[in-house]
Amino acid sequence: SRGRDWFHRAVVYQVYPRSFADSDGDGIGDLKGIIGKLDYLAHLGVDAVWLSPVYRSPQDDNGYDISDYQDVDPLFGTLEDLDELIEGLHARGMKLVMDLVVNHTSDEHPWFAESRSSRDSSKRDWYWWRPPRPGHEPGTPGAEPNNWASFFSGPVWEYDEHTGEYYLHLFSRKQPDLNWENPEVRRAVYAMMNWWLDRGVDGFRMDVVNFLSKDPALPDRPLAEGELYSHDRTGYVCGPRIHEYLQEMHREVFAARGPGLLTVGEMPDVTLEEAVLFTDPARSELDMVFQFEHVNLDWDGGKWRRKELRLTDLKASLGRWQEGLGERGWNSLYWGNHDQPRAVSRFGDDGAYRELSAKMLAGVLHLHRGTPYVYQGDELGMTNMPFAAIEDHRDIEVLNHYREATGALGLDPAEVLAAIGPLNRDNARTPVQWDSGPNAGFTTGTPWIAVNPNTAEINAAEQLGRPDSVLTFYRELIRLRHDLPVIADGDFTMLLPDHEAVYAFVRRLGGHELLVLGNFSGEQQAVDVGDPSWAGARILLGNYPDAAEARGLDLRPWEFACRLRP
Ligand code: TEU
């Protein structure tokens, strides 16, 4: 039964290969670099590594634009290096989860080259081709087949002179969307997935997998005020055939394999109700999904306007997901990844209380019910990058937005740059800080994106042997999940939902009870959970040096404490 699912006890570590470790001095991380850090990962104690894309790619979106699904990009190494990585992970009891990007390919993938070659190409229907809007000059604004906005600015349509039609791309124009309505596309993807599983990988993190099924009519959506193209996503989020596709994928790829694989679907805008369906084991779709509700609470209309996050909103959201995926389904747990800012800068205090708040955030997250994901560098308490100029950015999302905002929309460049600051994706893409040497020990060459200037203060070498480091704290949390069934499988009850600064909950399993308290503020907080006897319970883990002799439940600035009884 589900209580025995291995991933309830597991912690997954995300490697963003470009920024992890560079072995050959070209300034870009690579597979040999990861292989060189396997003992670090084993020491941390994680159970699986999710590897962001290393496939052959023109790197328009750092590898999320794939031109060959069955080869490794020379930037990162070779297929043999990947085999060696799989072996090295397996030898240390860790799994490898590959990124699966099959909502779109690169425009340089042979499938797309064939598809765009002529209107009667045998692969024409593998992508979404549509004629210009009648009555408009093809290739001019307004002639697009519909009014959807791309995630990376502008319309989702690119005009192709050669055949006089447009193709759909939800992301960059170099990421044309595959047409999953076509059964040949689906068969080709399943064959590729089986090839990887035969090679020894242990599962997939599936990129924007809830966008696979579109409303085939591709209808215009309402425009919000001031919008050139519509950001309404209802034409493709959890479309009509999405469950059918995932069940088919399960039959064709996963059903014949043993237990021990991991499938997690990245799902922007997924609702809780849909997530229950995706992750209910009885429906044979996915093990878990990445939902986005809690990472959009500080958006003010869009990601380029940040508003203050209210802790009560965060608790209401995460608490609802804990509750909603309690009986059926399973949660993934994350504060950040390569698309989000650094957790400690966003939810904690990356100044005076950086270490305390990084640990508090980790403690609160990891003790929820679900599978925790650690994004590289978060286990060191790495922070957002103080980018000074648009030239320092590398992310296509940021660069396109800047061009559109300062161009067509006519906004002030300094204001646009300031607005990009807190939530942009480059914040989390700076190199992992391994030591206090040149380029943080990431590369002997010139890094593809600048290293954060705080590397002397924040680096792995300094934290490895230090008992009170953020890194050591993560190790402890991972060990606790492995050892304590109440963490892996206990039920979840949120406490103090209206408290503006304290995050509090209880987990229970078979007579064991765990109380988790986290202070999301720099002020002392009095805590009353309605059961004073908790103050006498044993402290399992805390983030202050004298946690074990704690006096009562009150919390000091950014304090975290969890107690177990009996
Ligand atoms: O991200 C999908 C996605 O919708 C967002 O999280 C995205 O980062 C967007 O910027 C939100 O504003 C996935 C990948 O994780 C991301 O790195 C890719 O760029 C994207 O898909 C396209 O493959």
Q: From the CB of 268, is ligand 1 less than 6 Å away?
A: yes
- Catalytic annotation on 144? no
Q: From the CB of 61, is ligand 1 less than 6 Å away?
A: yes
Contacts of 351 (CB under 8 A, 6+ apart): none
Residue 252 carries which DSSP code?
Answer: I
* CA 180/CA 33 separation, integer angstroms: 36
Q: Which of 339, 340, 425 to mutate to test the pocket of ligand 1 (most atoms within 8 A of CB)?
A: 339
Among protein residues, the one with the nearest Cα to ligand 1's atom 14 is 207
Among protein residues, the one with the nearest Cα to ligand 1's atom 16 is 339
Q: From the CB of 557, is ligand 1 less than 6 Å away?
A: no
pLDDT of res. 550: 66
Q: How far is the CA of 269 from the centre of ligand 1 (A)?
A: 12
Q: How far is the CA of 339 from the centre of ligand 1 (A)?
A: 6
* CA 102/CA 410 separation, integer angstroms: 35
CB 109 within 8 A of CB 65: no
First-last CA distance in the chain: 26
CB 14 within 8 A of CB 23: no
Q: From the CB of 334, is ligand 1 less than 6 Å away?
A: no
Encode the chain (566 residues) as per-residue pLDDT tens digits.
Answer: 344 589 999 999 999 999 999 999 999 999 999 999 999 999 999 999 999 999 999 999 999 999 999 999 999 999 999 999 999 999 999 999 999 999 999 999 999 999 999 999 999 999 999 999 999 999 999 999 999 999 999 999 999 999 999 999 999 999 999 999 999 999 999 999 999 999 999 999 999 999 999 999 999 999 999 888 999 999 999 999 999 999 999 999 999 998 899 999 999 999 999 999 999 999 999 999 999 999 999 999 889 999 999 999 999 999 999 999 998 999 999 999 999 999 999 999 999 999 999 999 999 999 999 999 999 999 999 999 999 999 999 999 999 999 999 998 899 999 999 999 999 999 999 999 999 999 999 999 999 999 999 999 999 999 999 999 999 999 999 999 999 999 999 999 999 999 999 999 999 999 999 999 999 999 999 999 999 999 999 999 999 998 877 679 999 999 999 999 99
**Given 81, 202, 266, 355, the catalytic residue:** 266
Q: Which residues pair with 299 in a beta bridge?
A: 306
Instruction: For residue 481, give both structure tokens.
Output: 């999940």
Residue 290 Rama label (left phi>0; alpha psi -120 to 50; beta): beta
**Given 81, 207, 349, 559, the catalytic residue:** 207
- Coil, helix or strand at residue 197: helix
pLDDT of res. 3: 46
* CA 484/CA 511 separation, integer angstroms: 13
Q: From the CB of 50, is ligand 1 less than 6 Å away?
A: no
Q: How far is the CA of 319 from the centre of ligand 1 (A)?
A: 25
Residue 217 carries which DSSP code?
Answer: T
Among protein residues, the one with the nearest Cα to ligand 1's atom 6 is 339
pLDDT of res. 1: 36
Residue 419 Rama label (left phi>0; alpha psi -120 to 50; beta): alpha
Q: How many CB atoms lie within 10 A of CB 95?
A: 23
Q: From the CB of 64, is ligand 1 less than 6 Å away?
A: yes
Per residue in 271-295, is it b (16+ CB within 10 Å) or e — as a string? eeebbbbbbbeebebbbbbbbbbbb
Q: How many CB atoms lie within 10 A of CB 74?
A: 9
Looking at the CA of residue 152, tell me the nearest atom of ligand 1: 10
Q: Is residue 566 reached through a cis peptide bond, with omega within 30 degrees of 0 on the bond before it? A: yes
- Catalytic annotation on 202? no
